[in-house]
Structure 1
């Protein structure tokens, strides 16, 4: 019967002399009191109690054997458990004296002050505490001495069988991987790079990737195409921001956050008004936090104005090693913080989010100052953008809009066509966001003295009232009738936009987006070539832009349109009032189009 396969990727016996610095870091962490499972995860790249125990035993056995060969009389200290603190859970006298800066005091004087501070221990407890402290110090010194003389830095050209368990090394050899560099390149390719390894899935593959990163130390360069996941996790622990140079006095802090990651979570919880905003905030803060620890080797709370300027340059040209492979789960092998290069608009969003984070941290007295306030954050216009080109607009042109209406008119008796016809008429007339439309119910539509109004709970959890023009109301009455419901007597909870199978149930955003996308794809082949280019990019949000653009063209006052759209900044609404390119062309052609010899 074959022996069970080792759970840990590292070689069980590690080989004579095959000890690396991270093995000693693991043992030092144990000596300092870090739980064995946490130390194994951090320094050996393994998970789970059984795996951590096997890896622990393998490292201890090898280091003890090394110590015995070198005639170290305290070699047993490598593997025994030593209590780092007295049984009363108060700090040891040595740790307390160091934290208080009591250098130069005699042991008797320290003992007297220590007992005054924490109370007297009985004689046996003092002897145990003193003995444990001596043993812990001897153990740390032994590990330090052995590491200096015996720790080997793995080379990318080392054969796999020197660092991995034999079964795993043999399987990788069959796949063509001879060295650690070969394996690292396989991991860097991303995707399901572990295919061909028996009993390997994403979880075990992530552990092996972390272990390879631990062995080779420094993150791979941009040419290798892999993002240093294991290194990032280690540095986030070390560069936590607890001692950041920009940290304010903890006693005056208005948040309970102890480090940078907790501070980011506090900011998101306090300021994000919706799950979508929370996800966006988390993504942008995580990117900047990871960039700080990987590229600048400092905590977020150490960031300076120079770092902020450098980050702006970084996101303007994101390296390929920071771009994630397709269809890779977050923090899985092949994952990276960015999905692709950032447009100028995406860069502006990223900078605004991080600036907002730092401003809040200063207000919360977690940080002293905001380095982003010292940086020119203006990006200007994208030289590659379409500008006023109709193809660059996110509103349907009159020709495309007419083609959509013709297509729907050709299928008037289908439930899908009736729903889409109502959707186009209602949103063109009201300009609702997709989320607002999906939340709208019959009870939100109310008559007023001069017409009908729709109560909307919109972006930022703000309420507003939107006028419903007569055309939109007539389309709604017809749509309810097509669903077998009387508009006037319908239940208040009946959705305005309903499922095709159950007229009393609302639909999801995904269903709405897919339905509208299919409609546009059916219309595109009927369009002239010059109209197809813009329509191919259309989404349901284009309905809102179409409403705003048509309203501006028809000279609806800016303040009316701003209130109707629920936009807090009039500058956002004002962009729809720029003279449309077709009108500008007609005006210039009328003024200057005739040849000079015709002027007279």
Structure 2
């Protein structure tokens, strides 16, 4: 009599397309009597329960038996189907003897043995009384167990297949997972490995409908088969970017690349012949050992803010890489002719494009990173020339270079004419934008966006300064000639020119309301580091890019409203950006009688003439000594 299978055919998993060593390890553990829960923990699907492993065992039993019969290995076909416990050990001989029918149900539910074989097994396991044949039975059972293990090993040797990088994914992964990988262009296992190494920890975002859990299962599978695939995933592919150590960052960016390939400054491995230690333009008593050390010292000394440092590093990095790769010389050996060609020709068309221009946005730690997004405009080339001239001049003054090779280079473009009127809003436009954010009842986001608009207009802060503004920087006091308390916001810019700006009462009122909406106390009692402009979820500060998008959305919405009432008038609002609010603040403040020096301090301008550009043309001309 055979036991009926209570599983419906539809509920049973399909037979694996490829039999792996893990399948045989699972079934070997099953035959050895390992608990199903332990088998599931070791070999099962982490996203399913133990029933999935139980069903897989049933499928493997049928699959192994069928394949053994096809190979005319009848002995293996019988042995593979023996359940755990059907081959007893010596200790089981002393157990109470069951009925023959119960013994058949336990030992041979599929009817593999004949009556005589089954009876022989029964008599051996449950003799009529104590018998000295116990040792013989134990030896017989041990032989049977060995035969069973040998049969499984023989099948494993003939049937198992290790995955290879050129194997299609649909032969190794479940059909739904394989379909999602194929939809992303990942046809082979090698494609999947390349994607993981290129995109790192969040590679799965390029695969439709594949989340982090499914991605982790694939990564674990690749790790399990690393010897067969001939590839172990890098540490950087397994760890989120924010958890990388300095060593991992260097390994990832450099990736073992020699100097004749593009790499960021922090990963560049420069051979001694090109490191600048013997540069032809070195000062007699040089302060620094190599070009990299000199550039790092310049960045540390001259770029106090991270944004300035990023811009300075970009230009120094490009020039150094160009010198090494195109001129085959260190930066400290560049001549004026080299620099003229770099600014005049190379920056206008970085070639070869495959070496210099990225095909998309890549982090500096990724292999697809390149120093350029495309050819530079005349204005960008002029900015690069200006920065590099200042860098080389600093290196001359610091005793590293003997002469400045950038001196004497012609401007790449004329300095732009600042047009305050063309990049600011007049009073009517400003009031329209402000009115477009007014609501009878505000959601948190609507209230925060209106508050951001008032803060930017009343203070003239840059978006990076708005992003960094916290309640810690707020203070309240008195101001001569002004009734009531006056709120100020301290602003740090890293240039030893920290300042404070006044906050309009209407803006400060909204700040207090917004803090209340976030469940926070009065502005002066908030926890340290509480951002003024916070994200709706989590309460973290909005990034500078996020603030830029916030204002762009406000201007776009206002432009749509204005376009409905006055066709053509909304286009100007749609062109506005965060910096327009800074221009608008300055132009309106000066127009309403604010002092030039006061506005200049609030804007943190280095020279007064910069602020004077916000004056009306005739007023600016009088201030600068220019005839209108």
Structure 2-normalised TM-score? 0.50
- Which residues of structure 2 form unaligned runs of 5+? 1-163, 168-183, 200-257, 620-628
Separation in 2, partners of 1:331, 1:314: 28
Which residue is 1:287 aligned to?
A: 318
- Structure 1 residues 467 and 500: alpha-carbon distance in aligned structure 2, compared to 1, 3 A threshold: same
- Aligned ranges 1:141-540 → 2 under 5 Å: 201=194, 230-231=260-261, 236-237=270-271, 238-249=273-284, 252-254=285-287, 257-314=288-345, 317-319=348-350, 321=353, 322-330=356-364, 335-377=369-411, 379-381=413-415, 388=419, 393=423, 395-437=424-466, 438-441=468-471, 444-450=474-480, 451=482, 452=486, 453-480=488-515, 483=518, 487=522, 490-491=525-526, 493=528, 494-500=530-536, 506-528=541-563, 530-540=568-578
Separation in 1, partners of 2:269, 2:520: 61
Q: Is the 8 A contact 2:344 2:412 kept in 1?
A: no
Separation in 1, partners of 2:489, 2:269: 52
- Measure how far apart 1:495 and its partner are: 4.0
- Does the residue aligned with 2:413 lie in a helix, a strand or coil? coil
Q: Is the 8 A contact 1:202 1:332 kept in 2?
A: no
- Structure 1 residues 443 and 241: alpha-carbon distance in aligned structure 2, compared to 1, 3 A threshold: closer
Q: Is the 8 A contact 2:362 2:368 kept in 1?
A: yes
Q: Is the 8 A contact 2:198 2:368 kept in 1?
A: no
Q: Is the 8 A contact 1:324 1:339 kept in 2?
A: yes
- Structure 1 residues 487 and 202: alpha-carbon distance in aligned structure 2, compared to 1, 3 A threshold: closer
Which residue is 1:546 aligned to?
A: 584
Q: Is the 8 A contact 1:292 1:300 kept in 2?
A: yes
- Structure 1 residues 552 and 262: alpha-carbon distance in aligned structure 2, compared to 1, 3 A threshold: same
- Measure how far apart 1:253 and its partner are: 2.9
Which residue is 1:118 aligned to?
A: none
Q: What whole-Å deviation, never above 9, does each CA across 1:373-418 have from its counterpart, x for those lacking one? A: 3334473146xx9x7496x52x345454333222211354322222
Separation in 2, partners of 1:575, 1:410: 36
Separation in 1, partners of 2:299, 2:541: 30
Structure having the higher Rg: 2
Which residue is 1:148 aligned to?
A: none
- Aligned ranges 1:23-34 → 2 under 5 Å: none
Q: Is the 8 A contact 1:440 1:456 kept in 2?
A: no
Which residue is 1:83 aligned to?
A: none
Aligned length: 367
Separation in 1, partners of 2:561, 2:584: 20
Which residue is 2:49 aligned to?
A: none
Separation in 2, partners of 1:399, 1:194: 58
The RMSD of aligned alpha carbons is 4.1
Q: What whole-Å deviation, never above 9, does each CA across 1:418-471 have from its counterpart, x for those lacking one? A: 222222222211112233333231552221243523322235253212233444
- Measure how far apart 1:483 and its partner are: 5.0
- Measure how far apart 1:268 and its partner are: 1.3
- Structure 1 residues 497 and 332: alpha-carbon distance in aligned structure 2, compared to 1, 3 A threshold: closer
Structure 1-normalised TM-score? 0.52
Q: Is the 8 A contact 2:348 2:377 kept in 1?
A: no
- Aligned ranges 1:571-582 → 2 under 5 Å: 571-579=609-617
- Structure 1 residues 578 and 235: alpha-carbon distance in aligned structure 2, compared to 1, 3 A threshold: farther
Separation in 1, partners of 2:469, 2:420: 34
Structure ranking higher on relative contact order (CA contacts 8 Å, 6+ apart): 1
Q: Is the 8 A contact 1:400 1:527 kept in 2?
A: no
Q: Is the 8 A contact 1:444 1:456 kept in 2?
A: no
Separation in 2, partners of 1:318, 1:401: 41
- Structure 1 residues 501 and 308: alpha-carbon distance in aligned structure 2, compared to 1, 3 A threshold: closer
Structure 1 residue 562 and structure 2 residue 595: aligned? Answer: no
- Does the residue aligned with 1:455 lie in a helix, a strand or coil? strand
- Structure 1 residues 488 and 242: alpha-carbon distance in aligned structure 2, compared to 1, 3 A threshold: closer
